[in-house]
Structure 1
Amino acid sequence: MDTFIFKSATYDETSQTIALGYAYLDGPEFSEKIHFPGAKASLNDEERHALDLAMRQLHLAAGISYYKAYCPRDIRVENHRMTKEEADFFFKFYRHGLGEFSVENNIDLSGVIRFPVTSNHHLGASDIELPSSSVVPIGGGKDSVVSLEVIKAAGKPHHMIAINAGRPILEVMDAAGGDAIHIKRTLDPALFELNEKGAMNGHVPITGILSFVMACGAILYGYDSVVMSNEGSASEGNMEFAGIEVNHQYSKSLEFELDFEEYIRLTALKNFKYFSLLRPLNETGIAALFSGLTHYFDTFKSCNRNFHIDEGERKYGWCCDCPKCRFVFLALSPFIKRDRLIDIFGKNMLVDMTQEDGFRELCGLKGHKPFECVGEIEECQIIMRTLTTTEWADDGLVKMLAGELENPTMNVSALKASALTFKYDHNIPDEFLESLNEFIGS
């Protein structure tokens, strides 16, 4: 399996489906399908051209799921000639997007990934006018709920959007009310057969892939802005490996956000906007805002077992024994009453001493930051210290770990004020930044 081939990317208006073709030379072929229910019944020439440009980039992005099975040095693109801009962007996307995968499989991809430059020309983006409307991707957790409520409070035209929505996402959407777009992405089953036979597997930059899907959706549904819900602390890496900082949340980082928006505007859609509304805040600030949205308490879920790629393996609820559950419990504990938070999760993780190592990792007292979408080590430390001033103070893990930390001790009011102060660079358009400020101040 020494050559990976990008074969084709097509859109069928009748079935409202994009088909992406890939193959290994003298090996398996793959066909991925992405279905856009409710998309425009027919596209004019300008819309079709814009979709072809966006779909070309989606094809290159989604291929990472199949390329990672063997990570060959030889990459071929059969359906178009590749520009230097494309080769440079996707080298970085694959190199950093497979950073965690590299650690898991102990492989240095720096000299392996090679996208061929076969064109001396530059791509020109479509200047098609997109309708002034936003989509807010709903992930089922607290962050996207906060973004959605900011947009709703501001009265901005919007839709919720989800790709392969399962029970938690659907329940959050029901709780929110309003219009929703549902997209279905189907990976080729042949990929899972390869994994079962021993092909390499591991983390891919799923947020990045789905961002390219939503760029195509801008033409098919009619919107000009994708409002993400990635916090400032998503830019913090987990560890160093093979010459790069490995970040589980690479495609949620500000670096990717800026790269992606610039790239789409350069190669596909000049009038497309892509930004995270929560970027100025850390996870603690988002938790403080979410704590006032009580009608979501019994529906939101962040535990990854709800979102397993194999629908048959999904389990609903909170497992209360993984980095995501530990972190979300910790982040919300200063802002939600103790009994209510325990009721939401079904367990008090701060008295479960078997979880000591997991909380030590979150607080930087052992190992490295978990390969999960969790907050910064420093904010976990500050929250743990703050809990010593609350009704959680006598819980076993609070007493043990807070005593080992040297961070200043705050009360909850001071923690909230600090967490809602903007700390990070961002890419938010002025009119949306004003809406965020108004929501924080309400």
Structure 2
Amino acid sequence: MKRDDRRGERFTYEGVDISPATGEVTSRYSLDGRPFREVVHLPGDLDWGSPGVAAAARVLFLLSGISYYKTAAPPVIDLGDTPVTADEIAFLREFYVQGLGEFSYVNDLPIDDLQIVGGRPDLAEPVPWQLPEERPLIPFGGGIDSVVVVEETKQQFPDSSLFIVGRFDPIEDAAAVTGLPIVRASRTLDPQVLRSRELGFLNGHVPVTGVLSAIAVLAAVLDSRSAVIMSNEWSASSPTIEVDGRGINHQYSKSLDFESGFRTLLGAVLPGFRYFSALRPYSELWVAERFAQLPEYHPVFRSCNRAFHVDPALRASAWCGECDKCAFIDLILAPFLPAEQLRAVFGGREPLDRTEMLPRFRGLLGDTAATKPFECVGDVGECRVALELAAARPDRAGNPVLAQLRAEQPPAPAPADRYFAPMGEHFIEAPYAADDLLV
């Protein structure tokens, strides 16, 4: 097979440095001699002397390399002198191959030949993580999923805290409503990555939730937190597209497969540490119904991805009302919120009010002529049930978008009730699990 000349030769893990004085963890990599350096900063007044810090920093080092590997996607990853087990290498390969599935597909660049070499087996002893009480840390993005998790969790565990990476106005507005303290981190990518086009790098989606999960674990260790509670729901495990019998999932690092593998990795180095998604057995419809009952968040929440652009100058100051994420949030909330309230959320640009948005909705609904978007959106079944429920609302009578979509689409899957009850595997244990999840 002819070698793809877009690919490099070897990606190398050079080392990770911990600086308590500056509150920084610096991960160093290289690709065919080109160095990369990523810095994660956390508050210096946290417990940098905790014995779990080195273990958590090593996990972060393993996962964050993916942002630099993809610049030329070589067939070999060299772990150098990184302490690592055979099980961790297997997990890491899965993280790269599955997590870069969308990247590989969009760039027409198979990476199934990836080999991981190097590393040394002499890991430090595991650090048991047993705290006297539950003090959860909740990664918070300001959208409906994490809002519902926060509100459910803080009722039971008042000593909960939010975890936020960076600073984005929509997240800050919603975080203020929670009333919870914040453990804040910053992640500084190597500036070369932001010059990808200029430097001729490959570009595309990376499983960033996996990297953020590792930063959250480090933050939890530093702040003596017992658990990291994610907000990834049931349909995050659904493939975005199937190619040659293989599922490619934009949300891989939000999926049950990633959660399972990452839990196993953590269990070996920080036994007793809890990492799980509180929404894993629930549909987006279940989440949306509960979010609709939290009116204090309706004016401030945001799930439009244009609000979170890397370049602050390009960030949208309000819902754009045009992207796939806006269309999905509108559709999933439409059964549960009055039409006028949703119009207000979107500032008069509600997607369901505009026929030019029909192609976006067709993609969400599984139209054979459209493609499900590479976005964090629900599965086709959830969207079709939402369509039926929204169209049945009296305040949506005569809506041309809903009428057109109902005329085009097959009936919603039955029974619809299954989307409002727990379904599927999960890792939620007592004391966090509701009674109906422990039977």
Is 1:399 matched with 2:403?
Answer: yes
Q: With the length of structure 2 as denominator, give the TM-score of the two structures.
A: 0.92
Q: Against the structure 1 CA distance between its residues 436 and 160, is the aligned structure 2 distance closer, same or farther, given a 3 Å change threshold?
A: farther
Q: Does 1:5 align with 2:6?
A: no
In structure 2, distance between residues paired with 1:399 and 1:293? 29
1:430 corresponding residue in structure 2? 430
1:77-103 deviation digits (Å, cap 9, x = unpaired): 233254311221110000011011111
Cα shift at 1:332: 0.5
Tell me the CA shift for residue 246 of structure 1.
0.5
1:231-274 Cα deviation digits (max 9, x unpaired): 101111011236631001111111111111111111x2111111
Tell me, what secondary structure is at the counterpart of 1:394? coil
Q: 2-side partners of 1:385 and 1:210: how far apart? A: 36
Query: Following the alignment from structure 1 to structure 2, what is the Cα–Cα distance between the partners of residues 42 and 248?
Result: 34
C-alpha distance after superposition, 1:391-424 (max 9, x if no partner):
21311111111122332599xxx96x65431122
Higher helix share: 1
2:394 is the alignment partner of 1:388: no
Task: Tell me: CA distance 1:261–1:310, structure 2 relative to 1, closer, same or farther (3 Å).
Answer: same
Q: CA RMSD in A?
A: 2.1
1:189/1:243 Cα in 2 relative to 1: closer, same or farther (>3 Å)?
farther
Structure 1 pair 409/230, CA: closer, same or farther in 2 (3 Å)? closer
Unaligned ranges ≥5, structure 2: 1-7
- Render the CA deviation track for 1:274-308: whole Å, top value 9, x for unaligned: 11111121111100000010011111000001111
Give the corresponding residue for 1:278: 279
Paired residue secondary structure (1:75): strand
Q: Retained in 2: the 8 A contact 1:277–1:436?
A: no
Report if aligned partners of 2:359, 2:370 keep a CA contact under 8 Å in 1: no
TM-score normalised by length of structure 1 = 0.91
User: Cα distance, 1:220 vs. partner?
Assistant: 1.1
Pairs aligned (count) = 426
Distance 1:180 1:396, change over 3 A: same
2:77 corresponds to which residue? 75
Could you tell me which residue of structure 1 aligns to residue 149 of structure 2? 147
Q: How far 1:387 moved relative to its partner?
A: 2.5
Equivalent residue number for residue 421 of structure 1: 421
SS in 2 for 1:57: helix
Deviation at 1:435, TM superposition (A): 7.9
Report the equivalent of 2:370.
Answer: 367
Structure-2 change in CA distance of 1:384 and 1:233 (3 Å): same
Q: Are the equivalent residues in 1 in contact too, given 2:327–2:360 (CA < 8 A)?
A: yes
Equivalent residues of 2:129, 2:226 under 8 A apart: no
Shift of 1:367: 2.6
Stretch moving more, 121-130 or 307-316: 121-130
Distance 1:395 1:174, change over 3 A: same
Contact 1:137 1:160 in 2 (8 A): yes
- Supply the distance in 2 between the matched residues of 1:353 and 1:290 (Cα, whole angstroms): 26
| Distance of aligned partners of 1:348 and 1:280 in 2 relative to their CA distance in 1, 3 Å threshold | same
| Code of the aligned partner of 1:74 | V
Tell me, yes or no, if the aligned pair for 1:70 and 1:199 is still in contact at 8 Å. yes
Secondary structure of the 1:23 match is strand
Question: 1:165 Cα shift?
Answer: 2.8
- 1:137–1:82 distance in 2 versus 1, CA, 3 Å: closer
Deviation at 1:161, TM superposition (A): 0.8
Contact 1:225–1:274, Cα closer than 8 Å, also in 2: yes
Aligned equivalents of 2:87 and 2:151: distance in 1? Answer: 37
Contact 2:355 2:401 in 1 (8 A): yes
CA contact (8 A) 2:391 2:397 kept: yes
1:440 aligns with: none
Moved more, 271-280 or 308-317: 308-317
Give the Cα–Cα distance (whole angstroms) in 2 for the partners of residues 253 and 355 of structure 1.
28
Give the Å deviation of 1:224.
Answer: 1.6
Distance 1:409 1:277 in 2: 25
Residue 313 of structure 1 and its aligned partner are, at CA, apart by: 2.1
